[in-house]
């Protein structure tokens, strides 16, 4: 049976959840697509790297990690990451390393290398799509391979797939949404009257507020997401530093109460539209939203995107309180697209 060999760059939350999903669905994939999916490369920053052209034992790898926090030392390789990327036997790279929203690196170089070798690439990391989308898309096209990135905005929720496959020939004219859970949660809790220290403590315990939440609070994460969206859906050709960005760092309880007296709530909104010259303008800023508006009901870790097109007006898609499996499904779904491309 034909194989699909995967290289996983990064094996943290998303990589491990993807490996579990792959194990769960492996036999079904074989039955439906007649394709044996194996993982030949896994790299991490501190846990070690593994390379086995015959396929890494994922069950054992996950067990080893659970027990010791590392890979079995008999299975690890000393071959450096660059060499694995450039020479190892794989068909599809999965870029699952941490985001650097200011550069999109080293993830972009990982993807460049794989695409340059004529390998498919899938990324959950939004950096490459926010900083280098058109270059990577064109490289993939020239090499006749797939470059997929569904996970970079709203996890596995079909946003890019929705537009590509179900809104054919409809031109996207505007995108708007609430895309950052941390700020959404903080604003909602402030409105309930909770103290900031308590909000941050609970958010950290629930696992979605980072030790240093500045990337979220100052709107960098949202700027990265809206840039990725606009580059793909509106061919914006922009980078995150071109977003007119303001986070929620200066929002006070008084602002929230004032908004309340006007029947409004404050939300951190991302937007992209065309200006009169046909250029895409992107903004991230806190805005007052009427309590009756659908956006006002989007709370906690729920996200929403509204996509306006010339032919289908405005459609909105909501992702309700995702967990890590929904992120894993994003890259899993992209992997199925790679299998379909090769069939």
Ligand X SMILES: NC(=O)c1ccc[n+]([C@@H]2O[C@H](COP(=O)([O-])OP(=O)(O)OC[C@H]3O[C@@H](n4cnc5c(N)ncnc54)[C@H](OP(=O)(O)O)[C@@H]3O)[C@@H](O)[C@H]2O)c1
Instruction: Kindly state whether residue 159 participates in binding ligand X, applying the rule CB under 6 A.
Output: no
Among 40, 61, 108, 151, binds ligand X (CB under 6 A): 151
180 binds ligand X (CB under 6 A): no
**Residue 68 contacts residue 32 (beta carbons within 8 Å):** no
CA distances from 205 to 198, 210, 211 (A): 11, 10, 10
- Nearest CB to ligand X, comparing residues 98 and 263: 98
Query: Binding of ligand X at residue 161 (CB under 6 A)?
Result: no
Furthest-apart CA atoms within the chain: distance in Å? 65
Q: Which is nearer to ligand X, 179 or 187 (CB)?
A: 179
Instruction: Give the interface size with ligand X as a residue count (CB under 6 A).
Output: 24
First to last CA, the chain: 12
Could you give the angle at which helices 13-33 and 58-68 cross, rounded to 10 degrees?
160
Q: What is the token pair recorded at 116?
A: 């340059």
Instruction: Please give the Cα distance from 342 to 225 (Å, whole number).
Output: 29
43 contacts ligand X (rule: CB under 6 A): yes
Binding-site string for ligand X from residue 87 to residue 106, where x marks contact by CB under 6 A and - marks none:
---------xxxx------x
Determine the Cα–Cα distance for residues 316 and 200; give it in Å rounded to an integer.
29
Q: What are the beta bridge partners of residue 288? A: 266
Cα 150 from Cα 18, distance rounded (Å):
14
CB atoms within 10 A of CB 341: 13
Q: Is residue 9 at the binding interface for ligand X, with CB under 6 A as the rule?
A: yes
Between residues 189 and 319, which has the closer beta carbon with respect to ligand X?
A: 319
- Residue 324 touches ligand X, criterion: CB under 6 A: yes
Residue 11 interacts with ligand X (CB under 6 A): yes or no: yes
Nearer to ligand X (CB atom), residue 288 or residue 319: 319
Q: Does 206 bind ligand X (CB under 6 A)?
A: no
Tell whether residue 47 is a contact of ligand X (CB under 6 A). yes
Which residues bind to ligand X, rule: CB under 6 A? 9-15, 43-47, 81, 96-99, 106, 124-125, 151, 155, 324, 327
């Amino acid at each position: 049976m034909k194989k699909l060999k995967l290289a996983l760059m990064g094996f943290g939350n998303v990589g491990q959840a993807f490996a579990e999903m792959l194990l769960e669905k492996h036999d079904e994939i074989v039955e439906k697509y007649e394709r044996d999916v194996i993982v030949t490369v896994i790299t991490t920053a501190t846990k070690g790297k593994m390379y086995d052209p015959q396929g890494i034992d994922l069950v054992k790898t996950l067990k080893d990690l659970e027990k010791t926090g590392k890979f079995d030392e008999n299975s690890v390789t000393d071959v450096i990451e660059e060499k694995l990327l450039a020479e190892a036997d794989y068909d599809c790279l999965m870029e699952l390393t941490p985001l650097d929203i200011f550069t999109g690196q080293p993830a972009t170089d990982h993807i460049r290398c794989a695409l340059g070798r004529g390998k498919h690439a899938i990324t959950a990391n939004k950096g490459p799509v926010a900083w280098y989308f058109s270059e990577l898309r064109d490289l993939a096209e020239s090499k006749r391979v797939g470059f997929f990135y569904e996970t970079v905005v709203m996890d596995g929720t079909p946003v890019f797939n929705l537009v590509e496959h179900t809104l054919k020939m409809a031109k996207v004219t505007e995108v708007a949404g609430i895309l950052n859970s941390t700020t959404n949660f903080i604003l909602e809790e402030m409105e309930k009257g909770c103290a900031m220290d308590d909000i941050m403590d609970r958010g950290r315990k629930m696992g979605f507020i980072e030790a240093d939440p500045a990337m979220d609070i100052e709107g960098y994460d949202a700027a990265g997401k809206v840039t990725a969206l606009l580059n793909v859906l509106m061919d914006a050709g922009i980078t995150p530093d071109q977003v007119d960005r303001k986070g929620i760092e200066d929002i006070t309880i008084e602002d929230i109460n004032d908004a309340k007296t006007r029947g409004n709530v404050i939300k951190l909104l991302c937007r992209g539209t065309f200006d009169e010259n046909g250029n895409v303008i992107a903004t991230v800023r806190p805005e007052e939203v009427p309590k009756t508006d659908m956006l006002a009901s989007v709370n906690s870790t729920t996200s929403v995107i509204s996509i306006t097109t010339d032919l289908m007006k405005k459609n909105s898609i909501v992702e309700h309180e995702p967990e890590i499996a929904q992120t894993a499904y994003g890259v899993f779904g992209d992997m199925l697209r790679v299998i379909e491309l090769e069939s």
